[in-house]
A = this chain, B = another copy of it.
Amino acid sequence: VSRKVSDSTVRRLSHYLRILEHLEAGDAGTVSSEDLAGQAGTTAAQVRKDLSHFGSFGKRGLGYAVPDLADHVREILGLGRPWRVALLGAGRIGSALFEYADFRRRGFHIVSVLDADPAKVGTTWEGVTLRHPDEMERVVRDDGVEVLILAVPGEAAQALVERAVAAGVRGVLNFAPVQLRVPPGVAVQDVDMVMELEALAFELTHAGGDVP
Contact = CB atoms under 8 A, between A and B. Distances in A.
Interface string A49-88: 0000111000000000000000000011111000100000
Interface in A1-39: 1-3, 5, 7, 10-11, 13-15, 17-18
A75 B212 CA distance: 9
A171 interface: yes
A3 to B, nearest CB: 7
A94 to B, nearest CB: 9
B209 A2 contact: yes
- Chain A interface size range: 35 or more
A124 interface: no
10 contacts: A1-B211, A10-B202, A18-B177, A76-B212, A92-B95, A102-B194, A106-B197, A108-B197, A147-B204, A173-B197
A206 interface: yes
B3 A209 contact: yes
Given A14-B195, A103-B194, A173-B196, 6 more contacts: A2-B207, A7-B199, A14-B199, A41-B179, A173-B197, A189-B196
A11 B199 contact: yes
A128 interface: no
A93 interface: yes
Contacts of A5: 202, 206
A146 interface: yes
Interface string A122-146: 0000000000000000000000001
Contacts of A41: 179
